[in-house]
Structure 1
Amino acid sequence: MNLSEGQVWLLIGALAVMAAATKAIGPALVGGRELPTWATGVIATMAPPLLAALIATAVFADERRLAVGADTAGVAVATLLLLCRVPLVVSAAAAVGVTALLRAAL
Structure 2
Amino acid sequence: MSMLWIAVIAASVLSFAQKWVGYQAPPDVLERPRVSRVTTLLPIALLGALVATQTATSGSEILLDARLAGLAAAVVLLCLRAPFLVVVVGAAVVTAGLRALGWS
Q: TM-score, normalised by structure 1?
A: 0.65
Letter in structure 2 aligned against 1:82: L
Q: 1:16 to 1:69 in 2, by over 3 A?
A: farther
Instruction: Please state how far the C-alpha of 1:41 moved relative to its aligned partner.
Output: 3.1
Aligned residues: 97
> What aligned pairs does 1:1-106 form with structure 2 within 5 A after superposition?
10=5, 14=9, 17-28=13-24, 30=25, 32-35=26-29, 37=32, 38-104=34-100, 105=102, 106=104
CA offset at residue 45 of structure 1?
4.1
RMSD between aligned residues: 3.0
Paired amino acid for 2:52: A
Aligned-pair CA distance for 1:77: 0.9
Alpha-carbon distance, 1:17 to partner: 5.0
Q: After TM superposition, what 4+ stretches of structure 1 lie above 4 angstroms from structure 2?
A: 15-18
Q: 1:45 to 1:77 in 2, by over 3 A?
A: closer
- What letter matches 1:65 in structure 2? E
Segments of structure 1 that go 5 or more residues without pairing to the other structure are: 1-6
Residues 35-77 of structure 1 show CA distances to partners (whole Å, capped at 9, x for unaligned) of 1613223333444333322222221122112111121111111
Can you give the 5+ residue segments of structure 2 that lack an aligned partner in the other structure?
none
The percent of aligned pairs where both chains have the same amino acid is 29
